[in-house]
Amino acid sequence: MASQLLLGLGLSLAIGGVAYWRRSLSRSGVLGAVLTGTLIFGFGGWVRGLVLIAFFVSSSLLSHYRGRQKTGLAEKFSKGSRRDLAQTLANGGLAAAIALAIGLTGKDSASYPALAFGFYGALAAVNADTWATELGVLARSRPRLLTTGRPVPVGTSGGVTVEGTLAALAGATTIGVVGFCLIQIAARWTTGAWLLSDWVVIPVAALSGLAGSLFDSLLGATVQAIYRCDRCDVETERLVHRCGQPTRLVRGRRWLNNDWVNFLAAAAGASVAAGLALLILM
């Protein structure tokens, strides 16, 4: 485990450094990436560590995809494209905690599917939400609020589109496919046999990730803190608008910012994945 921790630390530092250089992470975001990466590699093993990298790389690339077109929407979101410590922990913290539990208890087999699949559900949910956000805002159709179906401006918390929902499903499925492929490589390497029965990780990740993403939208439409800049007459997640004007709360709970919403979405994804695993495998 000591060697795995050192490997995780080294890889996390390298990836975090590149991400900082590419302006995908802030300085505090590098710290968050190192913490989550080291824990997942060290206690969860290299398969889970590489799944984390797949999430981080895909979400970082999409955050820069057609960035100029998204520039005008930045005022609606609480933070920019450079993830900070809170964002990295909100997205990867639960997966790191599950990996830590797996490593400390040794409960990493088919006998304990809730932990094993909960990890993939947590990452599938945050990957689905990231893909839905980064691609959904580019949709040609106008988003509709998840709770009422009424049209809302692009970038509104809780607004969904068909394109964004399909992107969420693709993002969640990607985590399952990457996980399945890496499990096969690990099994072939260590035992000389394939573990094709683990194909179930793909639909579990797809369904739990999509569920987590939709739960994120539900929170955004109902209880997430949303503010208004009276000077610019726009809704935003920011306490202080980009124009410098302090905003006022118009709906939601003040403490429930986007970072908490992301963490709760990850928890929802992990819970759905654990439930599906118990239903299918037990």
pLDDT digits (tens, 9 = 90+) for 10-36: 888 998 888 888 888 889 989 999 999
Tell me the average pLDDT of the chain.
Answer: 86
Q: How far is CA 164 from the centre of its chain?
A: 15
Who's near 147: CB < 8 A, 6+ residues apart?
158, 218, 221, 222
Strands 226-229 and 248-251: antiparallel
The confidence score (pLDDT) of residue 233 equals 79
Provide the angle, in degrees to the nearest 10, between the axes of the packed helices 46-64 and 27-39: 150
Say if residue 138's pLDDT is above 70: yes
For residue 263, the one-letter residue type is: F
* Dihedral sign of CA atoms 273, 86, 65, 132 in order: positive
Q: How far is CA 216 from the centre of its chain?
A: 10
Who's near 82: CB < 8 A, 6+ residues apart?
23, 24, 25, 26, 29
Who's near 3: CB < 8 A, 6+ residues apart?
none
The overall pTM is greater than 0.75: yes
Say if residue 74's pLDDT is above 60: no
Provide the angle, in degrees to the nearest 10, between the axes of the packed helices 85-105 and 27-39: 10
The confidence band for 278, taking pLDDT boundaries of 50, 70 and 90, is confident
The confidence band for 7, taking pLDDT boundaries of 50, 70 and 90, is confident
The region of weakest confidence among 55-69, 133-147, 169-183 is 55-69
